[in-house]
Amino acid sequence: MDIDSCFKIGWVLKPHGLKGEVTVTLDDNAPEDFSAIKSVFLEQNNRLVPYFIHGISAQGKKAFVKFEDINSLDDASKISKQSVYIEKSFRPKSVRGEFYDDEIIDFEVHDEEKGLLGKIREVMQAGPNRLLVLDYNNKEILIPVNGPFIESVNKAKKKISVNLPEGFLEL
């Protein structure tokens, strides 16, 4: 599976019990009905490897998952600390004005006064805050997603309009 056609929903934290079950920590963008998923991909050596789910018990941002062919504590330990992905087709459509982090990579960011600032290089998670990362005048700029800065997101034009306060770009 190509990593560009999937998105990360969490990671395998550690084994849970002695029969191969693992604890999976779920990201905020994981589907609400995680228990309906039949298979996932684990990132191993920069490749996505499919794993079929035999049983699952989701509780908030954690899930206890039993994968097929993972039947011991040793097997479960081997897949610990690996990122969990699902196909993008399984995620719900984002509502107007909202976006998934991977959807806006390479979008242009325009400020009302300064014009084009640059293209989004990545979306970074800093604690509970999401930050747009872009280069402006050979300097990395971090723009908070939460807050008053983002005016609009136009997915068709791949453009995000922002209204940054005076002096923001000089920090």
Measured distance CA(12)–CA(85) in Å, rounded: 11
| Residues 156-169 pLDDT 10s | 999 999 999 988 88
Q: How many CA atoms lie within 13 A of 45 on its CB side?
A: 2
pLDDT above 70 covers what percent of the chain?
100
Question: At residue 28, does pLDDT exceed 80?
Answer: no
Measured distance CA(164)–CA(55) in Å, rounded: 48
Instruction: Kindly report the number of other CB atoms within 10 A of residue 120's CB atom.
Output: 20
Measured distance CA(41)–CA(62) in Å, rounded: 17
Question: What is the model's pLDDT at position 94?
Answer: 75
Torsion of Cα atoms, 106 then 125 then 12 then 104, to 10° = -20
Question: What is the model's pLDDT at position 158?
Answer: 95
Strand partners of residue 131: 124, 144
Three-state DSSP class for 103? helix
DSSP 10-50: EEEEEE-SSSS-EEEEEPTTS-TTGGG--EEEEEETTEEEE
| Residues 109-118 pLDDT 10s | 999 889 999 9
Token readout for 161 is: 């309009």
Work out whether the CA dihedral 32, 35, 36, 40 comes out positive or negative.
positive
Question: What is the model's pLDDT at position 81?
Answer: 95
| Residues 45-98 pLDDT 10s | 889 999 999 999 988 889 999 999 999 999 999 999 999 999 988 777 777 777
Higher per-residue confidence, 35 vs 64: 64
Question: What is the model's pLDDT at position 60?
Answer: 83
Question: What is the model's pLDDT at position 52?
Answer: 97
pLDDT above 90 covers what percent of the chain?
60
Average pLDDT over the chain, rounded to whole?
90
What is the Cα 63 distance to its own chain's centre? Answer: 17
Question: At residue 26, does pLDDT exceed 80?
Answer: yes
Question: What is the model's pLDDT at position 127?
Answer: 80
